């Protein structure tokens, strides 16, 4: 089959079969195959150093230092998520586990390389989707992956105090909260006040969707529209704005396809741009 005749999933599957997929650079739009998805030499040497340290009776402090994060830029953090999801998507997940000594050493502190604002949906276990180990990701989950006071506070804590390099708003296929927000106002009014308050923070992003006949396509567009809106909401927070301006972090969106296991990232300004009908509105304007 010619390259033009292959679907995106087909290309991903082929790359994973021959050794894995990595994407370099935020908003670069370029992909390339990398080394096979078996553990890299540095990982093997690190595991051996940890094993040696445990055998000689190393302290928790010494073991913890062996696992100091090497992620220094948003680009590196994004690449780790993409490579991890490629392993999961391709059925080559490592399910990274830590030894008992390493788990105990984690009490000394944490240094997650990315923050994920995801949905509470049980079908979207974030660490598994990105094939990451304990201590790698700082997770905030709420139905509809909405930005509110609690989620902003959690994200800002990770950015300001844990040196996290990337913030990802992760929506997903078949999101129940988004589906409920698409219902007529009369139907939403039948929910409890707390559920209504949650849905009210999703409604503005999906109120003016274009006419789409296909139900699955409409749901995908609604979820992605909500992801874009929540990214925009985050980018209005002064602490996040300052961190992005200083190039300490990047804020991106993502869409997890439950049926395939693949995550699509929204990185560029064009991919994250709000529709003209919502971009001029404050994110709480609909609340009065």
pLDDT at residue 74, as a whole number: 96
pLDDT at residue 281, as a whole number: 44
- Name the pTM for this structure: 0.74
Q: What is the CATH code of the structural domain delimited by 75-96+109-287?
A: 3.40.1050.10
pLDDT at residue 59, as a whole number: 67
pLDDT tens-digit readout, 96-135? 677 776 677 667 678 899 999 999 999 999 999 999 988 8
d(CA 255, CA 43): 29
- First-last CA distance in the chain: 56
Domain parsing of the chain, residue ranges: 75-96+109-287
pLDDT at residue 57, as a whole number: 72
pLDDT at residue 72, as a whole number: 86
The candidate with the shortest Cα–Cα distance to 113, out of 62, 68, 147, is 68
pLDDT tens-digit readout, 140-152? 999 999 999 999 9
> Which is it for strands 114-118 and 166-172: parallel, antiparallel or unpaired?
parallel
pLDDT at residue 22, as a whole number: 38
β-bridge partners, 169: 117, 253
Ranges of residues in the chain with a pLDDT under 50 are 1-8, 11-25, 27-45, 277-288
pLDDT at residue 71, as a whole number: 83
Question: Is 209 buried (19+), middle (13-18) or exposed (0-12) by CB count in 10 A?
Answer: middle
């Amino acid at each position: 089959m010619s390259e033009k005749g292959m679907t995106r999933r087909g290309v991903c599957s082929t790359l994973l079969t021959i050794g894995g997929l990595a994407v370099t650079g935020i908003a670069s739009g370029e992909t390339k195959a990398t080394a096979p998805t078996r553990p890299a030499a540095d990982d093997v040497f690190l595991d051996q150093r940890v094993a040696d340290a445990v055998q000689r009776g190393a302290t928790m402090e010494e073991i913890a230092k062996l696992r100091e994060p090497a992620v220094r830029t948003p680009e590196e953090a994004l690449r780790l998520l993409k490579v991890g999801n490629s392993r999961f998507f391709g059925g080559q997940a490592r399910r990274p586990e830590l030894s008992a000594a390493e788990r105990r050493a984690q009490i000394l502190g944490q240094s997650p390389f990315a923050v994920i604002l995801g949905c509470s949906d049980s079908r979207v276990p974030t660490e598994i989707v990105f094939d990451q180990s304990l201590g790698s990701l700082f997770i905030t989950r709420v139905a509809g992956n909405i930005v509110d006071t609690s989620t902003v506070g959690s994200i800002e804590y990770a950015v300001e105090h844990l040196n996290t390099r990337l913030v990802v708003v992760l929506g997903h296929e078949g999101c129940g909260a988004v589906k409920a927000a698409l219902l007529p106002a009369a139907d939403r009014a039948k929910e409890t006040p707390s559920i209504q308050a949650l849905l009210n923070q999703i409604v503005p992003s999906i109120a003016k969707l274009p006419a789409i006949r296909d139900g699955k396509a409409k749901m995908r567009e609604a979820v992605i529209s909500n992801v874009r809106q929540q990214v925009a909401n985050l980018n209005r927070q002064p602490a996040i704005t300052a961190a992005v301006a200083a190039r300490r972090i990047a804020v991106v969106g993502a869409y997890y396809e439950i049926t395939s296991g693949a995550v699509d990232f929204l990185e560029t300004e064009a991919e994250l741009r709000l529709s003209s009908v919502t971009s001029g509105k404050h994110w709480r304007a609909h609340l009065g």
